[in-house]
Amino acid sequence: MTDPAQRLSPVYRDMPLTIFEHMSGLARHLGAINLGQGFPDEPPPPALLDALARASAEKSHQYPPMAGLAELRRAVADFYARTQGLALSPDSVIVTSGATEAVASTILAVVAPGDEVVLFAPAYDAYAPLVRRAGGVPVFVALRPPHWGYDRAAIEAAITARTRAIIVNDPLNPTGTVASPQDLAMLAQVCVAHDLIAICDEVWENVRFDGFAHASLMMQPGMAGRTVKIGSAGKIFGATGWKVGWLITAPAMAAVLGRAHQFLTFTTPPMLQWAVAEGLDTPGLAQSCTARWAQTRGVLLDGLMREGFALLPSAATWFTCIDLAASGIALDDRTFSERAVHEAGVASIPISALWEGGGAPTGIIRLCHCKPETTLSDAVGRLAHWRDGL
Ligand code: GLN
């Protein structure tokens, strides 16, 4: 008899663990400081925890509506009206169990077998496997350091008659960069010219440190009816384990995407949805989270620069990237991350682990900065000491 494990789908049998799970596992095992996977060590704001406790005591614990609590769909639409000038009806919002489920539901509903989907490298690691699972073909276009800008000619060259969609992550994880207004206008023109659906992972929209409000690709001319905008309460409030996200698109499209969501997770815990709705409605709460992360970001960036590490420019997300060669480190990124977690006691993410399609930069690693000041100072000291001994 064959081993039942050998009879499982080869898609998953031969798939490695995500780099985030791998590095967090090593950090736990080794007791290292975890600046790899992105999550804050501090709890979400007390007002959000109060809202959760009240919802848990007072509200139903049974299945909420498949598309999400009406109160949260309304609160999401209001939040984007206030913060980004979007005019959305609650019908355009589908609540999901985290942004990754929103990405999955969207890809399953958008991509038919044989369709091609344009992605950009580096990319969040869930996109391409989900496109393949839907029977689609991911086609990668490389972004180049240090600015990771979008190259129209390269995008046009990747588009064929079979291209159905483009996946844009703005602000971009892992680089922490933001698409320029020119990039957004160009991406919109390309989508309209080639009749593409834009799947926009905008989970970092509220985590910006350059003083600008996020501008969604959805706002560009011709994009309202062809964009799926994806957001995350986990990122807005620093509550990644809550797994409350949403997708937003024209109501007729949202109804179809909801059909995919109904057979993935169906619903999301109602007490979390109530609390997020209250959090989004609370003036200044989302901004207070970003203001706190601006403080800790400053500690990591200043500390690294003081120790002679060369940072790539960034303006958003919980991450900053280090150029290893320019920091005097003659290691490739994967070797750096594996050795640093063992030898320096600091976990990081190698950028090439988030790259497909050839030509990966192999000298850049990502560090997460939404950690207590003492943790960050300790991590900088460990990395500098270890580098000096290499
Ligand atoms: N978004 C997180 C990061 O970039 C990872 C999420 C996950 O591990 N699935 O660190």
Residues 329-384: tens digit of each pLDDT: 999 999 999 999 999 999 999 999 999 988 999 999 999 999 999 999 999 999 99
Find the 317 Cα to ligand 1 centroid distance in Å: 12
> 37 CB under 6 A from ligand 1?
yes
Helix (H) or strand (E) segment spanning residue 197 = strand 197-201
Give the per-residue pLDDT at 216: 98
Tell me the average pLDDT of the chain: 97
Find the 20 Cα to ligand 1 centroid distance in Å: 6
Full DSSP string of 242-281: G--EEEE--HHHHHHHHHHHTTTT----HHHHHHHHHHHH
Q: Which residues of 34-49 are buried (b: 16+ CB within 10 A; e: fewer)?
A: bbbbbbbeeebbebbe
> Residue ranges of the alpha helices (H) in 35-180?
46-58, 70-84, 99-110, 127-133, 152-158
Query: Which atom, in ligand 1's list, is nearest to the CA of 20?
Result: 8
> 127 CB under 6 A from ligand 1?
no
> 38 CB under 6 A from ligand 1?
yes
Query: Which atom, in ligand 1's list, is nearest to the CA of 38?
Result: 10
Give the per-residue pLDDT at 357: 86
What confidence tier does 1 reach under pLDDT thresholds 50, 70, 90? confident
- Give Dmax (Cα) for the chain: 63
> Is there a contact between 82 and 180 (Cβ–Cβ < 8 Å)?
no
Residues 260-296: tens digit of each pLDDT: 999 999 999 999 999 999 999 999 999 999 999 999 9
> 34 CB under 6 A from ligand 1?
no
**Alpha-carbon separation of residue 367 from 39, 40, 131, 212 (angstroms):** 11, 12, 27, 23
For atom 7 of ligand 1, the residue with the nearest CA is 20
> 242 CB under 6 A from ligand 1?
no
Percent of the chain scored above 90 by pLDDT? Answer: 97
What confidence tier does 14 reach under pLDDT thresholds 50, 70, 90? confident
For atom 9 of ligand 1, the residue with the nearest CA is 20
pLDDT reading at 247 higher than 90: yes
Residues 209-234: tens digit of each pLDDT: 999 999 999 999 999 999 999 999 99
Full DSSP string of 25-37: HHHHHHT-EE-SS
What confidence tier does 145 reach under pLDDT thresholds 50, 70, 90? very high
What confidence tier does 94 reach under pLDDT thresholds 50, 70, 90? very high
Give the per-residue pLDDT at 121: 98
pLDDT reading at 2 higher than 90: no
Tracing tokens 């990237």 back to the chain, one arrives at: 321
Q: Look up residue 122 and give its two tokens.
A: 């580096």
For atom 1 of ligand 1, the residue with the nearest CA is 38
Angle at 178 between CA 247 and CA 355, to 5 degrees: 80
Full DSSP string of 287-329: HHHHHHHHHHHHHHHHHHHHTTPEEPP--BSSEEEEETGGGT-
Residue 261, exposed/middle/buried by CB under 10 A (0-12, 13-18, 19+)?
buried
**Alpha-carbon separation of residue 323 from 154, 176, 300 (angstroms):** 25, 14, 15
Q: Look up residue 298 and give its two tokens.
A: 């400053």
User: 0.85 cut: is pTM over it?
Assistant: yes
Residues 150-159: tens digit of each pLDDT: 999 999 999 9
> Is there a contact between 311 and 145 (Cβ–Cβ < 8 Å)?
no
| Sign of the torsion angle spanned by Cα atoms 336, 337, 338, 343 | positive
> 240 CB under 6 A from ligand 1?
no
Mutate to test the pocket of ligand 1, among 15, 19, 20, 100 (most ligand atoms within 8 A of CB): 20
Task: Give the residue among 254, 202, 193 at the shortest CA–CA distance from 223.
Answer: 193
Find the 37 Cα to ligand 1 centroid distance in Å: 5
